[in-house]
Amino acid sequence: MALVDYKNEMVLQRTQMVEKQLKSRSITDPIVLHVMELVPRHLFLEEGLGFRAYDDCPMPIGYGQFISQPYMVAYMTQALQLKRTDAVLEIGSGCGYQTAVLALMAKQVLAIEIIPQLREKSLTALTKLGLNNVLLKLGDGRLGWPEMAPFNAILVAAYSETLPKILFDQLAVGGRMIIPLGPENNQKLVMIVKDENGVQRRQILERCRFVPLVNG
Ligand code: SAH
């Protein structure tokens, strides 16, 4: 009984998260809103922190890493303008929550995480949810996944001082890439679009705060 109550409470909190943190800000894409309402974010947090999963802030996921604030996940997902047929590369999949959101919107998600324990835990959570269109590799995401390239979208969830050219080269023509660019205390969220005419680069958030994209 207690378990059922907890589950209902989480559903309620998720609905409120969508109303108060997403709809009231700039999230308007109905599919993004729907998916954020569906994915049980609390299952990706450490035991004992689940009850704070729907708070309007990032949360620790262990190993000095953080799950992004729900609004940030929704904002980046919306900006990627995913299609059902898209292949997405995610760098720094951490606890796997953003991976699950992407997996429900795209055809396939190729995710790379550098911390083995996070890879293991996120894989367990993603498998539990039955998301079988995700491949999650342990390794240095700065190298991308050349065998699976090109990608229609690339999402980098850790900041870099410069744009990693290798990742950009793995973007398909018509592809979109989102990456926080540093320095650490002055990070901007940047969107790169590759099309037939070349490359467009624009800032989509003036301020953001991510952990660093580390050397493998
Ligand atoms: N979207 C994730 C964010 C986790 S924080 C979530 O919601 O949980 C960023 C993640 O990037 C961390 O898990 C960190 O281990 C990972 N990371 C940092 N540098 C990396 C690299 N070079 N390759 C792959 N993952 C990296």
Q: What are the domain boundaries of the chain? A: 11-208
Counting ligand 1 atoms within 8 A of each CB, the residue from 126, 170, 187, 211 with the most, and so the one to mutate, is: 211
The CATH code for residues 11-208 is 3.40.50.150
**162-213 pLDDT tens trace:** 999 999 999 999 999 999 999 999 999 999 999 998 899 999 999 999 999 9
Query: How remote is the CA of residue 118 from the centroid of ligand 1, in Å?
Result: 9
- Measured from the CA of 95, which atom of ligand 1 is nearest? 8
Residues with CB under 6 A from ligand 1: 61, 65-68, 91-95, 97-98, 112-115, 118, 140-142, 157-158, 211, 213-214, 216
Distance from C-alpha of 39 to C-alpha of 21, rounded to nearest angstrom: 15
- Report the pLDDT value the prediction gives residue 90, as an integer from 0 to 100: 98
Both tokens assigned to 60: 């620790």
Instruction: Report which ligand 1 atom has the smallest distance to the Cα of 90.
Output: 1
- pLDDT value at position 2? 67
The whole model's pTM is what? 0.97
* 24 carries an active-site annotation: no
Would you state the structure tokens that stand for residue 116, as one six-digit string? 């083995």
Q: Using CA atoms, how far apart are residues 71 and 94, in angstroms rounded to an integer? A: 17
pLDDT digits (tens, 9 = 90+) for 71-102: 999 999 999 999 999 999 999 999 999 999 99
Does 133 have pLDDT greater than 60?
Answer: yes
**What tokens does 144 get?**
């991308």
Q: How many CB atoms lie within 10 A of CB 140?
A: 13
In this prediction, residue 144 carries a pLDDT of 98
Three-state SS string across the chain, please? CHHHHHHHHHHHHHHHHHHHHHHCCCCCCHHHHHHHHHCCHHHHCCCCCHHHCCCCCCEEEECCEEECCHHHHHHHHHHHCCCCCCEEEEECCCCCHHHHHHHCCCCEEEEEECCHHHHHHHHHHHHHCCCCCEEEEECCHHHCCHHHCCEEEEEECCEECCCCHHHHHCEEEEEEEEEEECCCCCEEEEEEEEECCEEEEEEEEEEECCCECCCC
Q: Of 23, 16, 5, 24, nearest to 41 (Cα)? A: 16
Per-residue confidence (pLDDT) for residue 110, from 0 to 100: 98
Mean pLDDT of the chain: 96
Write down the pLDDT at residue 3. 64
